[in-house]
Amino acid sequence: MTAPGGHQLVNLTIEGRPVSVPAGTSILEAAKTAGVLIPHYCYHPGLPVAGSCRMCLVHVEKSPKLMPSCATAVAEGQVVQVHEPRADEARKGVLEMLLINHPLDCPICDKSGECELQDFTYQEGPAHSRLRDPKRFNAAEDFGGDVLYVANRCILCTRCVRFMESVHQDAVLNVSERGDRAVIGRTEGGDLARPWAGNVVDVCPVGALLSKDFLNKARVWELDRAASICTGCSQGCNIMIETRDTSVVRLKPRPNPDVNAFFMCDHGRLDYRWMNRQDRCAAPATGAGESDWDSAVTAAADALEGRRAHIVASASLDNEVFWLLGRVAKKTGGTVAFAVPTGPEAPLPGARDLALRADRVANATGAGLLGAARKDDPFAGVGPGDALVIADLDPAGVPVSALEAAGAVVWLGTVHPGSLSKLNAALPVANVAECEGTLTNLRGRVQRHLQARPAPGMARPAWSALADILMALGEEAGYQTAEEAFAAMAAAVPAFTGMTYATIGLRGAVVASSAEGAP
């Protein structure tokens, strides 16, 4: 039999379950396909195999020794037992050894609750310690960047060392010393103030490498998680937004082999505080002051009536939003434009096509496909016949000259418009963490983000506000959900033809390459 990639398939039995996997697969990975998690520490699917923690030892029929399942390739007819007395005993022995010098300080450890040492010890470890002698002690150390090293909790799995060496390809970490004196060390002058170094915290299976940003912030079992997309650049790394109550407390990478493997950069990881901003625009307003939604939508529609919409939008807004903005522009004979802030590109050398991209917005590709124009100065050319529509921008970045030149101003924003000199309508909208939607990354991959926290006050998703404005302008736009808006967009825009939220799933789907943009 042959697998899709042309690989020969190998048949074996793991815990009594038959599996077929491509030749060259490790027993550990094959077991996953059989629904069996073989306990392990040093193995990580995104890193070179070390085979050193000896936790994944399994019994392979006809083999005199227990085999490390991470470093043993499958063979035809192999019979593998994970829970077999000798293998169970060996793993219990490893857990006992890992724990003898471990401080067992779970109550004050940030990793508690998502710690693989804790999990496997509960699952199959010894209930008591036989250690009667003093434990080894090593002081905690600031590794630079966002990383704190708590050596006492370290199990020397070397995932961090291998990440820095093989994936980051900036080998600043090593194993220093030998025997039980060994600790993770840094090369002379080396630290983890590197663009992708924060991933060592994620690959660490225990509480040895901690995020200084997240330190003592929350117990992880108190967190709620929502799948999302990082808006730090155009790469579109898949992430989890983690909230305690309704505050975003950390971002974690969410594996996606087509986009970001297992990783995300520190720039994206640490850029989340804006999601919790307190100076949010929470109520709609007309030129006369705070109002209800109906009045504000009417005011916005009135502002657009008889004027060309000159729309300037953030290029991190959703595809759905750009499509609806495009329809507003089309209805009024106007335009949609966006500017793209840029920064230095920082690739992750050991991963395929993964970098902190120069374009520091999430959806420039989607905006382009939907007819918006990238401009250095998107406010240029606003005149008295124009209604200036500002979508999700910082009020400080709006030039006074454009406001003065415009015939009317409509504000859709997450933050309060403040003291804009001219304002016909202000519509409070949800930020990316507060609504559902899709973003298109630089490779044309359309990816969904889910809602992680409620929007403040009366704020609504931007697509919903725009749908109301379009209907007030006499257009058909009665969408009740983001999914409905997306479906309508997919029906109208060739690039998105055939896509639905269901088919995109959480891995994303790539736009049709020959597709042409504007609605």
Taking residue 233's Cβ as centre, other Cβ atoms within 10 Å add up to: 28
Q: Residues touching other proteins: how many (CB under 8 A)?
A: 36
Nearer to other proteins, 161 or 432 (CB): 161
Binding part of the chain for other proteins, among 74-82, 133-141, 320-328, 392-400 by CB under 8 A, reads 133-141
Does position 65 interact with other proteins (CB under 8 A)? The reply is yes
Binding part of the chain for other proteins, among 8-16, 60-68, 318-326, 459-467 by CB under 8 A, reads 60-68
CA distance 429 to 456: 9
CA distance 345 to 354: 10
Contact between residue 146 and residue 213 where contact means Cβ atoms under 8 Å apart: yes
Percent helix, strand, coil in the chain (nearest 5)? 25, 25, 50
Report, in Å, the least distance between residue 158 CB and other proteins: 8
Report, in Å, the least distance between residue 230 CB and other proteins: 35
Residues in 452-471 that interact with other proteins by CB under 8 A: none
Nearer to other proteins, 71 or 405 (CB): 71
Does position 55 interact with other proteins (CB under 8 A)? The reply is yes
Residue from 10, 31, 90, 275 in contact with other proteins (CB under 8 A)? 90
Nearer to other proteins, 134 or 474 (CB): 134
- End-to-end Cα, the chain, rounded Å: 47
Report, in Å, the least distance between residue 130 CB and other proteins: 5
CA distance 485 to 463: 8
Nearer to other proteins, 53 or 230 (CB): 53
| DSSP helix/strand/coil, 303 | helix
Q: Which of 183, 207, 187 is nearest to 144 (CA)?
A: 187
- Biggest CA–CA distance in the chain, Å, is 86
Nearer to other proteins, 188 or 376 (CB): 188
CA distance 217 to 206: 17
Instruction: Quote the radius of gyration of the chain (alpha carbons, Å).
Output: 27
> Do the bridges between strand 285-286 and strand 67-68 make them parallel or antiparallel, or are there none, so unpaired?
unpaired
Report, in Å, the least distance between residue 97 CB and other proteins: 4
Contact between residue 395 and residue 273 where contact means Cβ atoms under 8 Å apart: no
Does position 93 interact with other proteins (CB under 8 A)? The reply is yes
Residues in 134-193 that interact with other proteins by CB under 8 A: 134, 136, 155-156, 158, 174-175, 177-180, 182
Chain positions contacting other proteins, by CB under 8 A: 49-55, 57, 65-66, 68, 71, 90, 93-94, 96-98, 100-101, 130-134, 136, 155-156, 158, 174-175, 177-180, 182
